[in-house]
Chain A
Amino acid sequence: MREVLRIEDLTVYYYTLRGVVRAVERVYLEAGRGELVAIVGESGCGKSTLGYSILKLVPPPGRILSGRVEVDSVDILELEGDKLRHARGELVSMIFQDPFTTLDPVRRVEEQIAEVLLEHGISKEEAIDRVYDLLRSVGLSERLARMYPHQLSGGQRQRVSIAAAIALEPRVLVADEPTTALDVVVQKQIMDLLDSIRREKGMAVILITHDIVLAAERADKIAIMYAGKIVEEGPIDEVLKEPRHPYTKALLASVIDIESREWPQAITGQPPDLRKPPPGCRFAPRCRYVFDKCRREEPELVEVDHGRRIACWLEERRL
């Protein structure tokens, strides 16, 4: 299957006054039609920066140093000006964590969705029809079209954001913690909605989350990120059944499992300061299986099985 999204060798640094933050380093990632790829990691591991990079929207002082982000064979990072503006919305778009602040409080729902269509060259008459179609397709009643965001619930607002994001049927939708601010019931509804949309429209969804359980339930593929790098990646079933990177194991062990009656295991220590990451493997200081090579040399992400990639020196020992 031809991939819809292909990220190659992406590196993003933040040039702050207190040093260079190496937020994303040498990341490779692919997503196919209708696939949901979860990027999982703790706060500050660079997963949101990765998400913004897909739209070439890294906030200053961040800079994309190298890499390609191909959507349908178009390199987003090469685009400039009006072409880039059109790519956002038409090829890739994004939804955010907090539905309470992502809608303009002084504009009606219909205006916010119609604006996207109008600014991408769709006629007024068509835009009006499409707004109602979109509202229906995200499970909202047409009655809400005339309302202002403050009149809606959190779930409804997130649905409106999704309607605006999918208005132009982009090939890739980046969902940055889309359900974190919502309660579990609404969370399930929103995830169901994203599932049906991606299946129906063949849209690849990049789900950025810190919740490995959510990823486990929904994703086709999972990429575990730690300190700016992807440490393990593969089909969700295989990764969950047989996690091979120590960090993935630790993450899975930190989840409460009611059936096993075991206490979740916390990961000791803190993630490294990305201004001066440790030499060698970035996870080495917190790793239970660490040996001297880990502290000297940085492991590359290598394919160990079909579609399964891991960056860990332990893999070398297995051979």
Chain B
Amino acid sequence: MIAVYSRKLLGRVGRVSRIVLEGVPPTGRKLVYVGLAIVLVIVFMAIAAPIIAPHSPTAPSGRPLEPPSREHPFGTDRLGRDVFSRIVYGSRTVLWVVAVAVIISSSIGIPMGLISGYYGGVVDRVLSMIMDAVYAFPSLVLAIALAAALGPRPENAAVAIAVVYIPTYFRMVRGQVLQLRETPFLEAARVLGIPSTRIMRRHLLPHLLPTIMVVFSLSAADAVLTEAALSFLGLAVRPPTPDWGFDLYSAKGFARSAPLLIAIPGFMITVLALGLALIGEGLSERVRRTR
């Protein structure tokens, strides 16, 4: 049973990745692979956190502010907790928040963009107006306001970030649909009595996939930074939950005495954002080339 399902899933992943990578020039592919490697390492770290981390991320395992040693590779923080373990576990928080945010915003933004572009008219005007209103806000300010209103929990942070990126998906998808709307094969499908919902899902969506993947990874990269900003402001997690952005905040008084406390979380945030951005940049080489 599981074997059947996993084969089906693998088949689908293979098909999607074929569509997505089709026509991406070699230079772009290299970027994609490097980015993918970075992201996969961090994902692996999150999954295997209990195996990798030598200590508990929340309980003290040494004296405060210890320098790096064999016992504590990156030293300890002001409460004596192992920095390395906190980084390893912290990846779970970021990835979870970013994944949920990206899934929410794409699963709202993409269908809305499809509907708006495909039907046009009044529907399109109303949806576009709402989206433009959201888009007009400075994204970080909007996320901060929403997260503050909802309270400091990871799922609230995810929702706040999601709202910010819905218009990005919407605009991208709508623009592409407008270009594709008049293509003869959609006309041919209509002539044969194929329902509009199916035309959108099966005949439009696959053609949008490459662009969607670009937006997907670029907005995820952006979401990593937004999540870090929210948690830096104490709007994403409550202590003692390990989180890179919040650890950065907690370390701000020790920049001179224990610079690693700031450097390590900051570095991790940058690397994860970079990995996701590389995937997006690589994939977008195809779009750029055809232009």
Contacts and interface: CB of A to CB of B under 8 A. Distances in A.
A115 B191 contact: no
B185 A119 contact: no
A119 B184 contact: no
Interface string B157-186: 000000000000000000000000001110
Interface in A142-170: 161, 164-165, 167
Nearest to B186: A104
Nearest to A92: B191
Contact of A98 (B184, B191, B198, B206): B184
Contact of A103 (B120, B188, B194, B206): B188
A87 B206 CA distance: 27
A107 to B, nearest CB: 8
B1 interface: no
A164 B192 contact: yes
A55 B190 CA distance: 10
Contacts of B207: 106
Contacts, number: 67
A161 B188 CA distance: 8
B146 interface: no
A93 B121 CA distance: 26
Interface in B194-228: 194-195, 198, 202-203, 206-207
A115 B191 CA distance: 13
Contact of A96 (B120, B188, B194, B195): B188
A314 B207 CA distance: 56
Nearest to A84: B193
Contacts of B189: 104, 115
A101 interface: yes
B19 interface: yes
B191 A93 contact: yes
A165 B187 contact: no
B192 to A, nearest CB: 4
B191 A94 contact: yes
A295 B187 CA distance: 39
A102 B188 contact: yes
A85 B199 CA distance: 12
A57 B191 contact: yes
Contacts of B193: 85-90, 93, 116, 119-120
Contacts of B184: 96, 98, 101-102
A96 B188 CA distance: 8
Given A101-B184, A101-B185, A106-B206, A88 B19 contact: no
B190 A119 contact: no
Interface string A257-298: 000000000000000000000000000000000000000000
A107 B19 CA distance: 12
A90 B194 CA distance: 11
A102 B192 contact: no
A295 B90 CA distance: 85
Given A103-B185, A104-B185, A93 B203 contact: no
A96 B198 contact: no
Contacts of B188: 94-96, 102-103, 161, 164
Interface in A227-248: none
A14 to B, nearest CB: 15
Contacts of B192: 88-89, 93, 116, 119, 164-165, 167
Contacts of A88: 190-193
Contacts of A120: 193
A167 B193 CA distance: 12
B190 A57 contact: yes
B206 A119 contact: no
A116 B194 contact: yes
Contact of B194 (A87, A119, A165): A119
Nearest to A59: B182
Nearest to B196: A85
A119 B195 contact: yes
Interface in A70-87: 85-87
A102 B191 CA distance: 11
28 contacts: A55-B191, A57-B187, A57-B191, A85-B195, A86-B193, A88-B192, A89-B193, A89-B194, A93-B191, A93-B192, A93-B193, A94-B191, A98-B184, A101-B184, A102-B184, A102-B185, A102-B187, A103-B185, A103-B188, A106-B207, A107-B202, A107-B203, A116-B194, A119-B193, A119-B195, A120-B193, A165-B191, A165-B192
Given A98-B184, A101-B183, 10 more contacts: A88-B191, A88-B192, A90-B193, A104-B185, A104-B189, A106-B19, A115-B194, A119-B192, A119-B198, A120-B193
Those 3 A-B pairs whose CB atoms lie nearest each other, nearest first: A89-B193, A88-B193, A94-B191
Interface of A: 55, 57, 60, 85-90, 93-96, 98, 101-107, 115-116, 119-120, 161, 164-165, 167
